[in-house]
Amino acid sequence: MTGTKDMNKDTQKVALITGAGRGIGQAAALRLARDGYSVGLLARSREQLEETAAAVREAGSRAAIAVCDVRSADAVREAVHAIVSELGPVSVLVNNAGRGGGGITAKMEDDLWREVVDTNLNSIFYVTKAVLNENTGDALESIISIASTGGKQGVIYAAAYSASKHGVIGFTKSLALELAPRGITVNAVCPGFVETELGGQARRNYARLWGVDEENARKRIEQRVPMGRYIQPDEVAEMVAYLASPGAKGITGQALNICGGLGNY
């Protein structure tokens, strides 16, 4: 694959990425575009999707967008069908859409719990199911879901988030066993604290809960990380690209940390 602009759906593999308008999703889209993939982009913001698509095309690859709320199974099916119709069958699925959410559990609104679980966990089932049903032949090679180190251990004041990400890892491990005979790898990537809009929101929430300003909250968080810093979206995208590469064909059913040493499990 060369990633040139004149490639068509018969010669260029397709990556489908949810939550592709910003942060890790956008970084993964650009990284896979540089590897020569056409990229299907899903998110709720058309403006952000258009920005990512423009960058993908500038990198020399084809891009298609579908505005979609991944919490809706019907909307997901329509969006995946539209992407496949335009670009071709999906080779790499990156389940990235997600949100934070939590607080003091006894005071958490029921609607917030449902929204976090719907966005972080149920959506992965909807999108993965849609891709498996929409694809024909043996095009699908890998499914990569963005989980979290919070999916391996409890995170204080983040019960909804941590529970949903534990579910992502469980889904990944089970699906990996199911799809292994077909040669499809299924893995999760587990970032720690990442410098994204979501990471900034989490930092502000901790500042409020701890009764400190945001800069003090940042220092407290970075002190927990052995490398002493936030992970960058591009670093997570490199892990995604590796898991999508031929060199990772023997890796499946794994949840791989990229967290600066925050988790060593």
Mean pLDDT, rounded, for 161-186: 97
For the chain, the residue count is 265
Mean pLDDT, rounded, for 1-5: 35
- Region at 7 (left for phi over 0; alpha for psi -120 to 50; beta for the rest): beta
Q: Which residue ranges form the domains of the chain, and what is each CATH number?
A: 14-194+232-258 (3.40.50.720)
Q: How far apart are CA 92 and CA 165, in angstroms?
A: 21
pLDDT at 185: 98
Which residues have a catalytic role annotated? 161
For residue range 229-242, what is the model confidence (pLDDT) as tens digits?
A: 999 999 999 999 99
| CB distance 117 to 162 below 8 Å | no
Q: How far apart are CA 216 and CA 32, in angstroms?
A: 36
pLDDT at 10: 56
Nearest to 143 by CA among 237, 53, 36, 240: 240
- The tokens describing 48, both together, are 């952000």
| CB distance 190 to 151 below 8 Å | yes
For residue range 113-158, what is the model confidence (pLDDT) as tens digits?
A: 999 999 999 999 999 999 999 986 789 999 999 999 999 999 888 9
Question: What number of other Cβ atoms are within 10 A of residue 174's Cβ?
Answer: 12
- HSE (CB half, 13 Å, CA atoms) of 259? 24
For residue range 158-168, what is the model confidence (pLDDT) as tens digits?
A: 999 999 999 99
Residue 177 makes CB contacts below 8 A (sequence gap 6+) with 253
Find where tokens 């963005």 sit: 146
Q: Choose the weakest-confidence range: 150-159, 210-219, 230-239, 254-263.
A: 210-219
Q: Is the pLDDT of residue 2 over 50?
A: no
pLDDT at 6: 43
